[in-house]
C-alpha cells in the first residue's frame, strides 16, 4: 500500500510537468519540483523523455542537480551526460560526493570516464583517480574522504567550532573521528556524546578507545557484515598502518547489499552478468533483448552440452530399458529429487559462507554432517517411493532398484550441493556460481548413471 501511495503522485505529476514544459512556464515548474525530494525527482526523470529530464535538470540548483543525478539509473546517467555541455557536466560531477562519483565512473564506458576525469578540477581528479585505483568491489571504492576529524588535545568547544566550519562538506557528522598527529585513527565519538559534554572538557576525556574500522582493500562484503553486526551508520576506512583515509556510510552499504543480492540471484539462476549490468536486472522491462539474451545463453548452452551426456548414458542402457520400460517412468522423480536435495544443501552452505558463520576450513565437518543428514533424507524418500515402485513396477526387484537408487541419488545430490560452493571458493570464484541449474544438471547426469547402473546390476 505504501508503495502505491508513493508512486501515485509521480504518475500524476508527469503529464502536468510535460504540459508546463510545453508552455515554457519555468517559474511554475521550479515551484513544483522544489517541493519534491531528490529521489522523487529522479523517479520522475525515469518516467519522462530524456529531453524533458534535461530541461528539469537545468532548472535545479547545482547541489540539487548532483543529488538527483546520483539517484538515476546508470543508462539514463550516460544519456544525460552525452547530451549536456562540458560546463554543465563539470558542474554536476564536481558537486557529487566522491563515493557517488566513483560509482558513476565505474559504470561508464572507459572513453566517457576519461573525458569526465579531464573535465574535473585537479584536486577532484586526484581524489577520483585515487578511489578508482582500489580493487573492484573493495571498500576503497565505496569510501568517501568527506568526514570530520578531531585532535584529542582539543576542547569540546574547539571541536564544535571545527565541526561547524567543516561539517557542511562531510558525508555525515553522526560520528566524528579522533586522529593523532600522523593521522592514525585512535577513536570515534558519537556527536551526541560531544554535544552533551561540558564545553571545557577535552576530547581525550570523552574517548574510550573503542572503535570498529576496516582496511581499504577489504571486500565490500566484509563491510556489510560489520554494519550488520554492530548496527553502524558509518565505518572508518584505514590503510595498512592504521591511518584514516575515509569513511563508508550506511547509504553506500545499502547500495552494495542490493548489488550483492542481485548478483547472487542472477548466479543462482545461471544468468551471466557484469557488474555494470546488475542494476538493469532490477528493471527487467527495460532490459534490451540482446543484453538479456547474451546474459542467459552462455550458461544454458553449457548446460545443454552437459544434458547431452545424460542422453548418452540412457542410450548406453538401451537393452535394460527395452526389457524393463517401466524404469523410465521413475527416472524424472529420481533425478529431480536428487537435484532438489542438492540445491537445498548448496543454498544453506552459500548463505552460511556469505554470513561468515562457515569458513573454507569447515568443509570436512560439513561434509560429514551432510552425509548423515542425506542418509536420513534418502531413506525417508526411499520409503516414500517404495510403494509406488512395487505397484507400478510389478515386482520386488524393480521396487528394490527404485528404492536403492533414490537413497543413493539423494546422498550424492546432497554431497555435491555441499562440496560445490567450497570448490568454487578454492578456485577463487563466487560460491553463488554453484547455481541451482548447475547442481540439478549434475544430479541429472550422476542420478541417471546411478539409477540405470543399479538396474543393470540387479535386473541384468
Query: Tens-digit pLDDT profile for the chain (460 aa)?
Result: 344 334 445 667 888 888 888 888 888 888 888 778 888 888 888 888 888 888 888 888 888 888 888 888 877 888 888 888 888 888 888 888 888 888 888 777 777 887 788 788 878 887 887 788 888 888 998 898 889 999 999 999 999 999 999 998 888 999 999 999 999 999 999 999 999 999 999 999 999 999 999 999 998 889 998 998 899 999 999 998 999 999 999 988 988 887 776 666 666 555 555 544 555 455 566 666 777 777 778 777 887 888 888 888 888 888 888 888 888 889 989 999 998 999 899 888 988 887 778 888 999 999 999 999 999 999 999 999 988 888 887 788 889 999 999 999 999 999 999 999 899 888 877 777 666 778 888 888 999 999 999 999 988 6
Rounded Cα distance, 238 and 206, in Å: 22
Find the angle CA(390)-CA(373)-CA(359) to the nearest 5 degrees.
Answer: 150
Rounded Cα distance, 303 and 286, in Å: 27
Residue 346 in grid coordinates: 548448496
335 neighbors 408 (Cβ within 8 angstroms): no
Rounded Cα distance, 348 and 328, in Å: 32
Rounded Cα distance, 5 and 7, in Å: 6
Residue 263 confidence (pLDDT): 67
- 175, 253, 266: which is closest to 219 by C-alpha? 253
How many residues appear in the chain?
Answer: 460
The number of angstroms, rounded, from the C-alpha of 215 to the middle of its chain's C-alpha atoms is: 20
Residue 147 confidence (pLDDT): 92
Rounded Cα distance, 429 and 289, in Å: 28
215 neighbors 192 (Cβ within 8 angstroms): no
Q: Which domains can be identified in the chain, with CATH numbers?
A: 2-133 (1.25.60.10), 149-249 (3.10.580.10), 306-459 (1.10.357.20)
Order the strands of the 185-190 sheet from edge to edge: 149-151, 175-179, 185-190
The number of angstroms, rounded, from the C-alpha of 111 to the middle of its chain's C-alpha atoms is: 26
Return the biggest CA–CA distance within the chain. Answer: 95
Of the CA atoms within 13 Å of residue 238, those in its CB half-sphere come to 20
243 neighbors 262 (Cβ within 8 angstroms): no
Give the other-Cβ count within 10 Å of 40's Cβ.
17
252 neighbors 142 (Cβ within 8 angstroms): yes
99 neighbors 181 (Cβ within 8 angstroms): no
Amino acid at each position: 500500500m505504501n508503495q502505491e501511495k508513493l508512486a501515485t503522485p509521480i504518475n500524476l505529476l508527469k503529464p502536468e510537468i510535460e504540459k508546463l514544459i510545453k508552455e515554457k512556464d519555468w517559474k511554475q515548474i521550479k515551484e513544483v519540483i522544489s517541493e519534491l525530494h531528490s529521489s522523487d525527482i529522479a523517479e520522475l526523470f525515469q518516467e519522462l523523455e530524456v529531453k524533458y529530464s534535461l530541461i528539469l535538470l537545468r532548472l535545479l540548483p547545482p547541489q540539487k542537480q548532483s543529488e538527483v543525478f546520483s539517484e538515476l539509473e546508470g543508462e539514463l546517467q550516460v544519456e544525460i551526460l552525452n547530451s549536456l555541455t562540458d560546463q554543465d557536466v563539470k558542474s554536476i560531477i564536481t558537486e557529487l560526493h566522491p563515493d557517488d562519483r566513483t560509482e558513476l565512473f565505474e559504470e561508464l564506458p572507459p572513453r566517457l570516464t576519461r573525458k569526465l576525469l579531464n573535465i574535473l578540477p585537479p584536486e577532484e581528479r586526484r581524489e577520483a583517480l585515487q578511489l578508482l585505483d582500489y580493487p573492484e568491489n573493495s571498500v576503497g571504492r565505496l569510501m568517501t574522504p568527506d568526514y570530520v576529524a578531531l585532535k584529542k588535545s582539543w576542547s569540546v568547544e574547539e571541536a564544535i567550532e571545527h565541526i561547524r566550519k567543516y561539517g557542511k562538506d562531510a558525508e555525515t557528522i553522526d560520528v566524528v573521528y579522533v586522529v593523532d598527529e600522523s593521522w592514525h585513527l585512535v577513536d570515534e565519538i558519537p556527536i551526541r556524546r560531544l554535544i552533551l559534554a561540558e564545553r571545557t572538557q577535552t576530547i581525550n576525556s570523552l574517548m574510550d578507545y573503542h572503535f570498529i574500522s576496516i582496511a581499504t582493500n577489504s571486500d565490500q562484503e566484509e563491510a556489510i557484515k560489520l554494519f550488520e553486526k554492530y548496527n553502524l551508520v558509518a565505518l572508518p576506512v584505514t590503510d595498512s598502518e592504521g591511518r584514516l583515509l575515509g569513511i563508508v556510510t550506511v547509504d553506500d552499504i545499502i547500495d552494495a547489499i542490493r548489488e550483492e543480492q542481485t548478483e547472487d540471484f542472477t548466479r543462482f539462476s545461471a544468468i551471466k552478468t557484469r557488474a555494470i549490468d546488475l542494476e538493469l536486472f532490477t528493471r527487467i522491462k527495460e532490459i534490451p533483448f540482446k543484453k538479456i539474451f547474451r546474459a542467459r545463453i552462455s550458461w544454458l548452452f553449457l548446460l545443454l552440452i552437459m544434458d547431452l551426456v545424460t542422453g548418452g548414458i540412457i542410450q548406453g542402457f538401451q537393452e535394460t530399458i527395452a526389457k524393463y520400460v517401466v524404469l523410465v517412468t521413475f527416472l524424472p522423480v529420481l533425478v529431480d529429487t536428487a537435484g532438489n536435495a542438492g540445491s537445498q544443501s548448496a543454498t544453506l552452505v552459500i548463505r552460511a559462507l556469505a554470513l561468515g558463520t562457515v569458513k573454507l576450513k569447515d568443509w570436512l565437518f560439513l561434509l560429514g554432517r551432510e552425509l548423515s543428514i542425506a542418509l536420513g533424507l534418502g531413506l525417508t524418500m526411499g520409503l516414500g517411493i517404495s510403494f509406488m515402485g512395487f505397484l507400478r513396477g510389478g515386482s520386488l526387484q524393480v521396487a528394490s532398484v527404485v528404492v536403492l537408487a533414490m537413497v543413493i541419488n539423494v546422498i550424492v545430490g546432497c554431497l555435491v550441493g555441499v562440496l560445490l560452493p567450497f570448490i568454487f571458493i578454492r578456485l577463487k570464484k563466487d560460491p553463488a556460481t554453484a547455481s541451482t541449474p548447475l547442481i540439478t544438471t549434475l544430479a541429472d547426469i550422476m542420478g541417471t548413471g546411478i539409477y540405470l547402473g543399479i538396474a543393470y546390476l540387479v535386473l541384468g
